[in-house]
Structure 1
Amino acid sequence: MLFGFRAVLNEIKAHFRDPENKPYPADDSPLLPELSKMLDWAGIGNPYLKIYITTNSTQYISLIAFLLTISQFSKLQYTENLALLMWKKVGDPVDGAPLYIGMQTFLKQFHPDITTQYLEYLAQYIKSIINHCTKSIEKLDIPNEYYITQFYVERFVFVGELNQQIFMEMVPHFLTDTLENLKNLSIK
């Protein structure tokens, strides 16, 4: 049985290396669902990265996910002491960890381009906050949304085991560094 699982895994790896010449293992094979169960039982499976359903590409799903996400940011605050996104008011049904884990799991069900589009929307949101903040250097007030978004994206990328370089290309590091430096100058 172990050799059968290993053979299925090797077929899947071969398919992802060369999808045009190597077909995906047959759907009627009982080995693949069984392998998934055994990996979960052994604690080897990662539920955050699991694809539960497959769908056709939905045109505006990344925009809808982005709008849903930023609508929840007003209910959160970044706590430096704990390095967490927590609710502003006790009893608010929003918490940071379930938000980014849930959104990551949701977006994982779609093509990876949807997640990239979602990150592009978040990057544009951060850039707009930075642009708004740097208009007046005398009175530099960095809103809480900036810290919330920055932390949210960091955790989202970490949980999804995504390449951080992708987001760093969307929001160059020098922009965030410049904002922090301007903040330090305005404090002095």
Structure 2
Amino acid sequence: MVVANVHIKEYNGSTSRTNPPATQVGDAAGVTDDVANINLVSIDQAEASSSANPVTAGTRSVSKWLAYELHAINSSNKIDNFQVWYTPQATTTGVTYFSNLNTSLALTTSIYPAPPTNTDFTGAGEGDVETATAMAFGDPAAENIGVSESGAAGLSVNGAHSDLIAIQFDTTGASPPGNVPQKTVHFQYDEQ
């Protein structure tokens, strides 16, 4: 059996983004296919350096908009049970991580703003992130991002995407100077 080839895409710039993203294999303008790092920084750019683009205390990082992409189904039937979370759980005073991830999978189809900004997720300008929640630390043990595009439980067509994943962090004046301790973003799915 040849396993499915799954990529993580990042959406930047003035490219319109819909939820779920349009079916497409590979890169497009403003889309980075198979993104290598997800630094939360002060600019809207894929794989940007956190040391060159720091987030000032009292502000938010620019939001990151990501999606799973089924790049090639190969001999699998589908991929499903999408989960995203951070480790380690160590917290930093004055820093809170937010996302649209939730186990109710309640996102609806809508157009998201372009380009991503450092505004609060709960503002009207951020589409249907609806209620920002604290990002999960540790395996959520249940699917926390949906698949509206397929109308089914999972992805089975090359170029199909999960719903958009939005993540961001907020800092307060109490945030310590220097870099926030590194977190690892985990992406997990099941293959049938």
**Structure in which a larger fraction of residues adopt helix:** 1
Same fold by TM-score greater than 0.5: no
From the CA coordinates, give the structure whose radius of gyration is larger: 1
Shorter-chain TM-score category? under 0.3
**Structure in which a larger fraction of residues adopt strand:** 2
Q: Which structure would you say has the larger RCO, counting Cα contacts within 8 Å and 6 or more residues apart?
A: 2
